[in-house]
Structure 1
């Protein structure tokens, strides 16, 4: 077997800014801007407040900022709190090869350590790109066998990516970086049974914190296995891996990049629901539905999503983000599924929503990929049908316009422009300026 730990450790230690192409840099900027908006909007969420309070109570050093309240704590504590904040709304980017949310663990690590070390934004962009490329490739190796076994790649694969980020910023050499990856292989955890609770966003914070812990320990001389990911009884073998290594996951490392296949959320709910919501949006543009006359709504989806976002009778706003049936009802009745406030406890019990929810049938279809869906609406006189595939590429100018628009709605016009300018001139702006913008 290829030594995965050494392969990615060597890459993380030795890659340079000029080794990343323009496409990778474009998507890095888009993902950072996207996360900043989502994290800023998530600062008031209960999980953000609770985790932030905990790390403040534990803090003995003041090196990195908790963006939810502006307090300074350890970089590991800030990464934990800010990671949970950035994933609190489940509105952050997703990668279908990674099978999770790569930015939500890698970027909080970069921000926390970058602030502690007083680096430029350019430095954290390099570390971030190296980290998310590694986590995407490891996530691809783990694949759906790992995910379907109950593990959440945002926490597991994300821990490896955040370790690369931290190792890069701390200036670890190749051996130290490999050692840090071996160490974090015994730390990475996160299970899908937490979906629909505060446990899911906490996963992102766990991964961000794990990376800093592993890298700092390695720098201090802590010794771990240099094959901890792939060895017998190592991470792969004990975490639902199917014993296959896709060629794309290990080939052309440093010259071709998988991360730019990243997908962004324009509905404020689980990404597994987005394909059918896009298909439904297209149907609504050309059909004047009378919701009261609809007899049945059928959603066909890849079976893997049925254990992720198929809550039958959600009772909270958080659970509603993981329900095919309720989000379909919301969309049919004209509720804006891109708005955060649409997902609330009250909507779960609204009479018309409940009645429409119960008309929705979710059907597994193994012929569909995890990015495809089919929706059919029957109103007694006719049946109309539509499909959507999230893998279809969006032109860069259109994508940028959509992400900037989302950022403005979450951050405000002035903050969005301020952050965009920093990202356009990363070599002259400090990480502390970006963090302070998010904390204010």
Structure 2
């Protein structure tokens, strides 16, 4: 079978037969986290206005309104990704919920399906996107593409198809159509443009539109993944271990390995913020810091270190989310890095502090299997060294369920009162038992 045929078989089987209990439990937590992040994003100045680009329809928007399903998936995906607060699978570097959550919600509302349909579609989109990323680790980024958006489009089409009633052949076509429309470059890095947030949203929309087109009779290439001009060759310069990755679909479940974020900035920066937090807990004060050297795995450097002058003095609050020096300075000065940290223009005092910092390549790193950090801080009393072997939230260093619940309530609480936020949390955590989506539509409505 072609890769698309294997993925289609997996998607149809999963929607029919379900998944192991531990995968289902992880999916509920990750879906909860993604929806909470999207709601918080909708309260940030400017983000809510994106909904004006969408025609009205039956699907819920995290801004509180409704839109045509494809447009809702696109806007909600952009909202979830815009804060850089959404979950990540490390090995594939895929931000799965920013594609899977809006795709599953919109497709299931379009189909008038159940909560069980929604959560299973969400799992399918995640699992497929991870496998595409793992088939060429670092390969998409090396050619200037975001693995989330390329692999996400394939996963979105696979997930939407069985929800919308497509058979195996139609699902293969939907995957082929989506692969032909996959996109999502890293060009935003040049000036910190906000359109990076749209990459997973566009992937989610691509999945819905591809499934609808396939249902209407359009065909797509069955060899979209592995052919000469297919996704893997076009976006990642080869299909690497694609066959091996797809052979274990539905046997080895990878969604539970995805990491939650505790800070709303690039995930590569998180272990450095942990290191700062660690030395501050041991008594280091901002005024003690004369200089700081960060050791960074070279594959991460283009995103969080280059050009260093801009990673010290970002062009905007949003641009600051990729500034390693700026974020470390925020943590040292404020003792926190949260949504509010990036809502205003970069602060002069933070920039001045960031300009005391330098970086060097980390030798012997284990990226992308580990997101690690090392910092050396010069103080008047000598050198302070801090190391983080693996970021909090990764496999082996899990975040407690209660902390994910707290994060959701804080995020949802930016738009909703405590009773509304708690009701939405309770509903999502039992989503697989919901006979329809009327309740979530009502809870998301403003």
The answer to whether TM tops 0.5 is yes
Instruction: Return the alpha-carbon distance in structure 2 between the equivalents of residues 210 and 134 of structure 1.
Output: 15
Closer/same/farther in 2, CA of residues 343 and 228 from structure 1, 3 Å limit: same
Q: Aligned to 1:91, what secondary structure does the other structure show? A: coil
Closer/same/farther in 2, CA of residues 127 and 185 from structure 1, 3 Å limit: same
Instruction: Return the alpha-carbon distance in structure 2 between the equivalents of residues 336 and 14 of structure 1.
Output: 45
Choose from 156, 161, 165 the match for 1:162.
Answer: 156
1:393 equivalenced with 2:396 (yes/no): yes
Give ranges in structure 1 of 5+ residues lacking alignment: none
Q: TM-score w.r.t. structure 1 length?
A: 0.92
Instruction: Return the alpha-carbon distance in structure 2 between the equivalents of residues 344 and 69 of structure 1.
Output: 21
1:192 equivalenced with 2:186 (yes/no): yes
1:350 equivalenced with 2:348 (yes/no): yes
Instruction: Return the alpha-carbon distance in structure 2 between the equivalents of residues 292 and 140 of structure 1.
Output: 43
Aligned ranges 1:367-386 → 2 under 5 Å: 367-370=364-367, 371-386=371-386
Find the counterpart in structure 2 of residue 66 from structure 1.
Answer: 61
On the 8 A contact 1:67/1:435 being kept in 2, the answer is no
Q: Aligned to 2:35, what secondary structure does the other structure show? A: helix
On the 8 A contact 2:73/2:106 being kept in 1, the answer is yes
Find the counterpart in structure 1 of residue 308 from structure 2.
Answer: none
Instruction: Return the alpha-carbon distance in structure 2 between the equivalents of residues 99 and 86 of structure 1.
Output: 16
1:436 equivalenced with 2:442 (yes/no): yes
1:27 equivalenced with 2:26 (yes/no): yes
Aligned ranges 1:260-339 → 2 under 5 Å: 260-286=256-282, 288-310=283-305, 311-337=311-337, 339=338
> How many Å apart are 1:5 and its aligned residue?
1.6
Instruction: Return the alpha-carbon distance in structure 2 between the equivalents of residues 385 and 82 of structure 1.
Output: 41
Give ranges in structure 2 of 5+ residues lacking alignment: 306-310
Instruction: Return the alpha-carbon distance in structure 2 between the equivalents of residues 425 and 183 of structure 1.
Output: 30
Instruction: Return the alpha-carbon distance in structure 1 between the equivalents of residues 288 and 147 of structure 2.
Output: 41
Instruction: Return the alpha-carbon distance in structure 1 between the equivalents of residues 161 and 363 of structure 2.
Output: 40
1:53 equivalenced with 2:48 (yes/no): no
Q: Aligned to 2:227, what secondary structure does the other structure show? A: coil
Q: Pairwise CA RMSD of aligned residues?
A: 2.0
Q: Aligned to 2:385, what secondary structure does the other structure show? A: strand
On the 8 A contact 2:60/2:444 being kept in 1, the answer is no
Find the counterpart in structure 1 of residue 74 from structure 2.
Answer: 80
> How many Å apart are 1:384 and its aligned residue?
1.5
Closer/same/farther in 2, CA of residues 164 and 33 from structure 1, 3 Å limit: same
Between stretches 163-172 and 413-422, larger displacement belongs to 413-422
Find the counterpart in structure 1 of residue 83 from structure 2.
Answer: 89
Instruction: Return the alpha-carbon distance in structure 2 between the equivalents of residues 19 and 93 of structure 1.
Output: 23
Find the counterpart in structure 1 of residue 420 from structure 2.
Answer: 415
> How many Å apart are 1:246 and its aligned residue?
6.2
Find the counterpart in structure 2 of residue 131 from structure 1.
Answer: 125
On the 8 A contact 1:13/1:174 being kept in 2, the answer is yes
Q: Aligned to 2:387, what secondary structure does the other structure show? A: strand
* Cα displacement string for residues 406-426 of structure 1 (whole angstroms, at most 9, x for unaligned residues): 011111343343233223253
> How many Å apart are 1:111 and its aligned residue?
0.8
Instruction: Return the alpha-carbon distance in structure 2 between the equivalents of residues 183 and 424 of structure 1.
Output: 33
Instruction: Return the alpha-carbon distance in structure 2 between the equivalents of residues 104 and 260 of structure 1.
Output: 16
